Structure formats: C-alpha cells, structure tokens
Amino acid sequence: MDNKIFTLEKLSEILNIKYYGNPDLIISGISEIKNAKKNQLAFLFEKKYLKDIDKTNASCLLVNIDFEIDDKFSYLVSDKPKFIMTKILEIFNFKYNNFKGIHHLANISNNVLFGENVSVNSFVHIGQNVKIGKNVTIMSGSFIGDNSTIDDETLIYPNVTILANCIIGKKVIIHSGVVIGSDGYGFIQLDNNEHHKVPQIGNVIIEDNVEIGASVTIDRATIGSTIICEGTKIDNMVHIAHNVKIGKRSLIIAQTGIAGSTIIGDNVIIAGQSGVSGHLEIGNNSIILSRSGVTKNFPEKSKISGFPARNHLDELKNISMINKIPQLIKEIEELKEIIKSQNLKN
C-alpha cells in the first residue's frame, strides 16, 4: 500500500465530515476494528460491535452520528458512514499501475488515436484503427482488437481481451481475465447431425460507469450488439451470451449465466449461481434470488426464486409443502395400518 499519512483534521476536511479528538492525530492506514494498530482508523457501523471498542488498538474510529463514544477516542462521525467508508478506502487505495505513457514493449498498430495522459503497459496489443480516450489505463498483457473504441478514464487490468469492433464507455473498470466480444454460441444442426457455425458479426457495447469482474465473458452479437447499459456492475465469473441487453444500474452476481437475446431491465439484481434462459424479458426493479433457473418472462418489480423460477412467495409455499411430505407419508402409513387392522377384524 502507498505510504499515505493524514492528520485527523486534514482527513475530516477531505471527507467534509466532523471529527472529535486530537486534530493532530496521525492516521497512516485503515483496518478492521479487532486487528487495528496504533495510527490506524477502524470502521464501526453497528451498535452490537461497540463492545469491541475496549479491545481495539485503533487510534481513530469512523462511527454513525448517533453513536455515543468514550471521549478517550478520536473519531469521525457521519450520518452515512458506509458511504464515507468508500471514500476513505479510495483515499488509502494502493495503485496497481504506476507506469505512465506508452511502454516500448507494447505493440501498437497503425492509425491508433490516443487521447491525453494514456497509460499502455508492456505486452499490450492494440489493433488497427483503435480510438483510446484520455486518462485511459491499459495494463500488461491486454489485447484490444481492430476498430474498437475505449472512452475516457477507463481502467483495464492485466490480461483482458477486447475483440474487434467493441465499444467501451467512460469510467469503465474491467478486471483481469475478462473476454469481451468472443463469438456468440450459435450453431445450426444439419441433416447429418453436424453443427454448422453461425457467423457472429455483431459487437459488444459497454456503456459508461460499468464495472466487470474477473473472468467474465461477454459474447458479441450475431447481428447488432450485446449491450451492457450505464452503471451496471458485474461480479466475477459471469457469462453473458450474444444479443443480451442488460439495463441501467443492474447487479449481476457471480456464476450467473444469461442466455442469448434475453433482455434484463434497469435496476435488476440477479443473485449468484442463477441461470436465465434465452429470448426472455425480466422487468425493471426485479430481484432474482440465488440459484434460480429462470425459464419464462417476468414483469417489473418481480421477486423470483427456485427452479423453475416462480414468484418467490409461491416458491416458499412450494418448499413448505415439500417439507411436509415426510410427515404426510408417515401419516399415510399409519392410516394404512389402521385400515388393515379394521379389515382383519371384519
């Protein structure tokens, strides 16, 4: 981590929040409350953790504004402490990339247009007719295909593959191992049972402020575009197939797969290990719970779970009935014994 040192007063000024305690207190790092050391700041958001205060060696705490803290501590207060936590993490975040400029070991093709203050690390390949915006960082081992566009302030981590004709917006973060623009999975079965590949000639469009986690694959469209809309955040190990459209500010959690030509609305949450079949529509503001298998359309504001996925309340009723089966079987067996004994008496 970079050596970053602030006084309590200076840190409160940067964050625009109040502080209590020694204004000259040195804060040189952050830690969990139980593991904090002298001159570190720790986060305390829930009252149930107040009991840990006497055990911590932290020199400063970030707390909710309605917490009562012993005067022996220096602390920062906010009515939105979790948001302030993100700002503090940004301040103390270490830099993955300190290289500036175009590295001499990068392979730059013809007609590449660079904006100001671009960083291209070693062993990056940039294809023909690529446009790179200002303040873009591309780390080592990444591949940018022909005719692609990467807009301002986008950050591309090592070993990312962006294939031809893809469009990446502003302030996009793409983590290691991501493949954008691989062929969509399209085949036609012939009479002899062979599978004939359907050429995938479309592209992928990633809009502004999208974050794509490690080892995500986003396929190019057969025709047209696979689109990830503004503000959507994609977790690690997600697969998005050809011609999918994911709306604004949606959250797609790890190990989810979305099949071809499905449309996901705005502000949708798809929890981990879920699967969504192709050619479906999921309405705005819907939630798909973990390990759901979605096989039909759902309107906006749906809460979905199970396999096959259904309204979550219906799924809970279904689970409740399934849980009663052992008891029902037992009761049936008891009734059979009663009937059997009655028959013997007759």
Digit-coded pLDDT (tens) for 187-198: 999 999 999 999
Confidence of residue 331 (pLDDT cuts 50, 70, 90): confident
Closest alpha carbon to 280 in 266, 300, 259: 259
Cβ contacts of 293-298, under 8 Å, gap ≥ 24: none
The residue with tokens 């009761």 is 331
C-beta neighbour count of 344 within 10 angstroms? 7
What is the Cα–Cα distance from 179 to 276, expressed in whole angstroms? Answer: 20
Mean pLDDT of 48-70: 81
Let me know: does 44 contact 63? Beta carbons within 8 Å: yes
Q: What is the dihedral of CA 132, 173, 215, 285, to 10 degrees?
A: -120
Q: Is the pLDDT reported for residue 1 higher than 50?
A: no
Tell me the whole-structure pTM to 2 decimals.
0.85
- Hey, how many other C-beta atoms are within 10 angstroms of the C-beta on 108? 17
pLDDT at 175 over 70: yes
Count how many residues are written for the chain: 346
* CA–CA separation, 294 and 306 (whole Å): 8
Distance (Å) of CA 31 to CA 38, 39, 40, 43, 142 = 10, 10, 6, 8, 33
Which CATH number applies to 102-310?
2.160.10.10
Residue from 216, 100, 220 nearest 165 by CA: 220
The per-residue pLDDT for range 252-282, each reduced to its tens digit, is 999 999 999 999 999 999 999 999 999 999 9
Given the residues 175, 242, 279, 312, select the one marked as catalytic.
242
Catalytic residue flag (residue 242): yes
Per-domain residue ranges of the chain: 6-92, 102-310, 319-346
SS3 168: strand
Q: What is the percent of the chain where pLDDT is above 70?
A: 97
Q: Is the pLDDT of residue 50 over 80?
A: no
16-30, 53-67, 91-105: which has the highest mean pLDDT?
A: 16-30
Task: Please give the C-alpha separations between residue 64 and each of 33, 34, 80, in angstroms, as whole numbers.
Answer: 15, 18, 7
Closest of 133, 15, 33 to residue 80, by C-alpha: 15
SS3 243: coil
- The CA-to-CA distance between both ends of the chain, in Å, stands at 87
Specify the residue for token string 């969990």: 32
Nearest to 185 by CA among 122, 259, 279, 238: 259
The average pLDDT across 145-153 equals: 97
Whether 261 and 277 have beta carbons less than 8 Å apart is answered as no
Contact 169/191 with Cβ under 8 angstroms?
A: no
Please choose, from the candidates 50, 45, 94, the residue with its C-alpha nearest in 3D space to the C-alpha of residue 69: 50
Query: At the topology level of CATH, where does 6-92 sit?
Result: 3.40.1390
State the Rg of the chain over Cα: 27
For residue 346, what pLDDT band results from cuts at 50, 70 and 90? low
For residues 118-125, average pLDDT: 96
How many CB atoms neighbour CB 85 within 10 A? 16
